[in-house]
């Protein structure tokens, strides 16, 4: 019989899929319009999608931002996603490995990712409440190339068995300084404000994932786990900053860490818009998870390849042959988004 923590992993998976089906995410990046230019003077054949970063120099600027691992069911999905990552050359992050620190039966559900994809770029994952020793342990567990440390106060508040201690900064600094691989500090769907980004910069963070609202909503998911009262924290369902808002917040921070973004990414145009607003690479969780659950490994491979093909064409359409060219692309913000960022300046 699997542990309670493993069961929680299965609940997260089933509820995330149920919410995706019930309320298909609408990307906050719809509030960003790209100004069309009819003479881009580019060729699709000349486009190079490689991420302009010495560490995260992925050949494709989007990656699998997984939520899986920790139970037998989610371990099988990790294996499917790892196969897709290997076949398409995508980087991949696993779900939180905290469960594997307490339950050795869960370890293989994460290790399978490295076993299937021995040469791929894989990111380990642990919560901010853990020590640097635990952080190194999850990195070693899967031979990770990088580590995501997720900060998730709003999720913990709603989670019945969630943490109630959010004093994290000192240990985050220790993790950043001592873990053997690059560290990404990541939100889980509630976004980041300029103040938080500045605090993370001052702690020594070189990479952050803004993890904005508009994708998988863990406040909703944790409330759905409470069968006695399924909307007890309904007032928190729109808590936090969207992905678009978070990207604009980051533009207000001097010497901000290198940005990654995730949260409601639904298509290659969302990837392009996030990059134009400053993200080096873009994580995709819910959409690829939904695809693999409904269309299997071959289905998600086909979907990833379609995105890769379309993104190259989108680059060419906006006059970009490489990531650095995107800084010249002009955008217009919706009145709501423009009002938001004007108030935050």
Which residue numbers belong to the known binding site for FMN?
A: 66-68, 96, 125, 186, 216, 285-286
Buried b (16+ CB within 10 A) or exposed e, 92-113: bbbbbbbbbbebeebbebbbbb
CA atoms of 323 and 325, how far apart (whole Å): 5
CA atoms of 113 and 329, how far apart (whole Å): 37
The annotated binding site for substrate is made up of: 8-9, 155
CA angle 134, 137, 143 (to 5 degrees): 145
Helices (H), the chain: 4-22, 72-88, 98-102, 107-116, 132-142, 153-158, 169-178, 194-203, 218-224, 243-250, 268-276, 286-317, 335-344
Judge residue 2's burial from the number of C-beta atoms within 10 Å of its C-beta, 0-12 exposed, 13-18 middle, 19 or more buried.
middle
3-class SS of residue 217: coil
Structure tokens at 5: 């923590």
CA atoms of 287 and 196, how far apart (whole Å): 27
The annotated binding site is made up of: 8-9, 66-68, 96, 125, 155-156, 186, 216, 285-286
- The residue with tokens 């069309």 is 36
DSSP state of 70: S
Beta-ladder partners of 64: 92, 284
Judge residue 143's burial from the number of C-beta atoms within 10 Å of its C-beta, 0-12 exposed, 13-18 middle, 19 or more buried.
middle
The annotated binding site for Mg(2+) is made up of: 156
| CB distance 33 to 329 below 8 Å | no
Structure tokens at 22: 């019930």
| CB distance 118 to 148 below 8 Å | no
3-class SS of residue 172: helix
């Amino acid at each position: 019989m699997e542990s309670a923590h493993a069961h929680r992993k299965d609940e997260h998976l089933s509820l995330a899929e149920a919410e995706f089906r019930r309320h298909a995410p609408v990307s906050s990046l719809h509030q960003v319009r790209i100004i069309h230019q009819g003479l881009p003077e580019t060729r699709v054949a000349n486009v190079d999608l490689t991420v302009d970063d010495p560490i995260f120099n992925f050949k494709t600027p989007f990656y699998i931002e997984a939520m899986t691992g920790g139970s037998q069911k989610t371990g099988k999905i990790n294996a499917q996603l790892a196969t897709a990552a290997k076949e398409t050359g995508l980087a991949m992050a696993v779900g939180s490995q905290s469960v594997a620190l307490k339950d050795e039966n869960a370890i293989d559900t994460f290790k399978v990712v490295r076993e299937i994809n021995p040469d791929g770029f894989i990111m380990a994952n642990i919560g901010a409440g853990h020590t640097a020793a635990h952080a190194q342990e999850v990195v070693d567990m899967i031979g990770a190339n990088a580590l995501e440390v997720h900060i998730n106060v709003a999720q913990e508040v709603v989670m019945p068995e969630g943490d109630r201690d959010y004093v994290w900064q000192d240990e985050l600094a220790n993790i950043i300084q001592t873990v053997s691989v690059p560290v990404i500090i990541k939100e889980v769907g509630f976004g980041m404000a300029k103040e938080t980004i500045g605090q993370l910069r001052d702690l020594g963070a070189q990479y952050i994932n803004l993890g904005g609202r508009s994708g998988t909503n863990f406040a909703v998911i944790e409330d759905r786990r409470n069968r006695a009262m399924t909307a007890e924290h309904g007032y928190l369902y729109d808590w936090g900053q969207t992905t678009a808002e978070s990207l604009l917040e980051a533009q207000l921070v001097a010497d901000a860490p290198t940005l990654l973004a995730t949260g409601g990414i639904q298509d290659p145009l969302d990837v392009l818009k996030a990059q134009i607003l400053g993200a080096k690479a873009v994580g995709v969780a819910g959409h690829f998870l939904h695809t693999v659950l409904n269309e299997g490994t071959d289905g998600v491979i086909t979907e990833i390849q379609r995105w890769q093909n379309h993104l190259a064409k989108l680059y060419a359409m906006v006059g970009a042959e490489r990531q650095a060219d995107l800084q010249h692309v002009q955008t217009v913000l919706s009145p709501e988004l423009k009002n938001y960022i004007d108030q935050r300046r």
